[in-house]
């Protein structure tokens, strides 16, 4: 019997999860059973983070305790702040994200403790400190003074405050919150599977999240939102969009921000993010990228029947908010830490070492010849 090879583990079910699922019956990504777009409409990001990490939506008391803990954990050590200042300014922020989480593992006295309680505490620390560290680098690489976190600001407000020195209009903060909710979790994607694979050897949560960040960096995963913006900057103006996209398709170029292995009829997260992209464009009085967006999307659907994924509207939304393009994927990181952490804890709870087989196609058995006879 010949072994059938499933490249990329296509269609292979490797484990069970309670964290999330794309439910075909409602054509939606769901977190713990709740449709992501409903969570965007009715919850702020902290509520969804609590849900993903703890299994249920919080009541008022639980949310306040969760927010208090997150805000308390934001402060970085003097050592980590000093290390951030030494990082080369040209370093990619995803490499910075990976490095700061690794340093947090060196500093955490519970690094080796994989008990559920310790892992939840560590997850909260990584969740709270990573955006602070990234915002500190955002400032440092521009030669600007680092801004300390504020305990009276929400998760999203504090990130804006630390990057830009001010909190934008509430509509902008809401759009950012929505993007974090939509990015928070997505079942066994490549970075989450990486985190679970690392965890399966009984490694620690800092190591697993460091590995997940390295996986997310790639343009076929999290880096796609950056590539979308690079594409839009190449197109430059709406008048060029039709010719550009048709030329790209004629040359069989890969168009980033389109297609998804899980969704066959379009990413269920896109309509929500597209709506908030429009709101941000209106506030910023800049419709250029919206027009490019619509033209490219129309041609992709008409010519290839390929729909956009969530990275397509998210990239230009972050651009309009004022973030540098290479910071788009790190923003994805600060959200997805919640999903990775939930999966890491789930893996520890019912662990089996992930060790797939490979079909060998190298040389058959060969005899070793002494060096002087070769």
**CATH code of the domain in which 259 resides:** 1.10.230.10
207 and 93 in a single domain? The answer is yes
- What proportion of the chain, given as a percentage, has pLDDT over 90? 89
Q: Indicate if 98 and 112 belong to the same structural domain.
A: yes
* Residue 137, strand partner residues: none
Q: What is the pLDDT of residue 9?
A: 87
Length of the chain: 374
Q: Which two tokens stand for residue 279?
A: 């709101």
The mean per-residue pLDDT over the stretch 15-42 comes to 94
Give the pLDDT confidence of 7-16 residue by residue, as tens digits.
888 888 899 9
* Residues taking part in catalysis: 260, 311
Give the residue with greater pLDDT, 243 vs 24: 243
Higher pLDDT, 143 or 266: 143
State the CATH number of the domain containing residue 53.
1.10.580.10
- Residue 364 domain flag: no
Asked whether residue 355 is assigned to any structural domain, the reply reads no
Is the domain of 289 the same as that of 142?
no
Domain contains 366: no
| Token pair recorded at residue 247 | 């030329």
Q: Tell me what pLDDT residue 7 has.
A: 86
Q: Mapping DSSP to helix (H, G, I), strand (E, B) and coil, where does residue 29 land?
A: strand
Residue 341: inside a domain? yes
Mean pLDDT of the chain: 95
Residue 2 has pLDDT above 90, yes or no: no
Q: Helices marked H in 21-150 — which ranges?
A: 36-42, 45-54, 60-72, 78-86, 93-107, 116-140
Q: In this predicted structure, what is the pLDDT of residue 64? A: 98
Structural domain of 241: 224-321
Bridge partner residues of 30 (DSSP) = 21, 35
pLDDT at 249: 96
Q: Is the dihedral of CA 117, 30, 279, 255 positive or negative?
A: positive
Which contiguous run of DSSP H or E holds residue 23?
A: strand 20-23
CA 162 vs. chain centroid, Å, equals 20
High-pLDDT (> 70) share of the chain, %:
99
Strand order in the sheet with 28-31: 20-23, 28-31, 34-35
The confidence score (pLDDT) of residue 25 equals 86
pLDDT at 259: 82
242-265 burial, b if ≥16 CB within 10 A, otherwise e? eebbeebeeeeeebbbbbbeebee
Q: For position 219, what pLDDT does the model report? A: 83
Query: Are residues 274 and 156 located together in one domain of the fold?
Result: no
Q: Which of 115, 126, 135 is nearest to 69 (CA)?
A: 126
What pLDDT is stored for residue 210 in this prediction?
Answer: 98
Mean pLDDT, residues 86-111: 97
- Between 359 and 88, residue with greater pLDDT: 88
In a domain, 362, yes or no: no
pLDDT of residue 373 exceeding 50, the answer is: yes
Residue 81 in domain: yes
Angle between helices 311-321 and 328-349 (to 10 degrees): 130
CA 259 to each of CA 24, 91, 136, 138, 264: distance values in angstroms, whole numbers, following the listed order: 17, 29, 34, 31, 8
User: Residue 4: what pLDDT?
Assistant: 84
pLDDT at site 1: 36
Regarding whether 55 and 166 lie in a shared domain, the answer is yes
More confident residue, 112 or 26: 112
Listed residue (218, 207, 179) closest to 344, CA to CA: 207
Task: Specify the pLDDT at position 220.
Answer: 80
142 and 237 together in one domain: no
Query: Which residue stretches of the chain are H helix?
Result: 36-42, 45-54, 60-72, 78-86, 93-107, 116-140, 155-164, 170-183, 190-200, 205-216, 224-235, 238-250, 270-283, 288-299, 311-321, 328-349
What average pLDDT does range 325-334 have in this prediction?
96
Q: Are residue 107 and residue 185 in the same domain, yes or no?
A: yes
Asked if residues 21 and 31 have their Cβ atoms less than 8 Å apart, the reply is no
Q: Which helix (H) or strand (E) holds 35?
A: strand 34-35
Q: Would you state the pLDDT for residue 164? A: 98
Q: 238-250 vs 288-299: helix axis angle to the nearest 10?
A: 30
Tens of pLDDT, residues 241-300 = 999 999 999 999 989 899 877 776 789 999 999 999 999 999 999 999 999 999 999 999
State residue 214's pLDDT score.
96
Please give the pLDDT value at position 263: 75
pLDDT the model gives residue 314: 96
Q: Mean pLDDT across the stretch 40-67?
A: 98
Torsion-angle region of 83 (φ positive above 0: left; ψ -120 to 50: alpha; else: beta): alpha
How many separate domains does the chain show?
2
CA distances from 103 to 194, 209, 369 (A): 20, 12, 47
């Amino acid at each position: 019997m010949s072994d059938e090879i499933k490249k990329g583990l296509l269609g292979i079910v490797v484990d069970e999860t309670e964290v999330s699922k794309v439910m075909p019956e409602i054509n939606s990504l769901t977190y713990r059973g709740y449709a992501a777009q409903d969570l965007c409409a009715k919850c702020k990001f902290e509520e969804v983070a609590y849900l993903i990490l703890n299994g249920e939506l919080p009541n008022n008391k639980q949310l306040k305790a969760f927010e208090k803990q997150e805000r308390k954990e934001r402060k970085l050590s003097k050592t980590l702040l000093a290390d951030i200042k030494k990082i080369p300014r040209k370093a990619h922020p995803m490499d910075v994200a990976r490095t700061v989480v690794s340093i947090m593992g060196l500093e955490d006295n519970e690094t080796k403790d994989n008990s559920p309680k310790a892992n939840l505490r560590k997850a909260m620390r990584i969740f709270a400190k990573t955006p602070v560290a990234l915002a500190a680098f955002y400032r440092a690489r521009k030669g600007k003074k680092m801004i300390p976190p504020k305990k009276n600001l929400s998760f999203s407000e504090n990130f804006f405050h630390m990057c830009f020195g001010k909190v934008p209009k509430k509509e902008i903060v809401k759009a950012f919150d929505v993007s974090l909710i939509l990015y928070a979790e997505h079942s066994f994607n490549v970075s989450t599977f990486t985190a679970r694979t690392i965890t399966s050897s009984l490694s620690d949560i800092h190591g697993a999240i460091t590995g997940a960040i390295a996986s997310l960096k790639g343009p076929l995963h999290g880096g796609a939102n950056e590539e979308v913006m690079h594409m839009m900057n190449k197109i430059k103006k709406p008048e060029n969009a039709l010719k550009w996209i048709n030329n790209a398709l004629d040359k069989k170029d890969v168009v980033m921000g389109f297609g998804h292995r899980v969704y066959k009829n379009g990413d269920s997260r896109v309509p929500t993010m597209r709506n908030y992209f429009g709101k941000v464009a209106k506030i910023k009085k800049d419709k250029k990228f919206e027009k490019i967006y619509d033209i490219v999307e129309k041609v992709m659907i008409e010519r290839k029947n390929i729909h956009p994924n969530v990275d397509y509207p998210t990239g230009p939304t972050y651009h309009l908010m004022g973030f540098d393009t290479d910071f788009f994927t790190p923003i994805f990181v600060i959200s997805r830490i919640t999903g990775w952490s939930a999966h890491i804890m789930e893996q520890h709870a019912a662990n089996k070492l992930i060790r797939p087989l490979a079909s060998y196609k190298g040389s058959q058995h060969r005899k070793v010849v002494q060096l002087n006879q070769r």
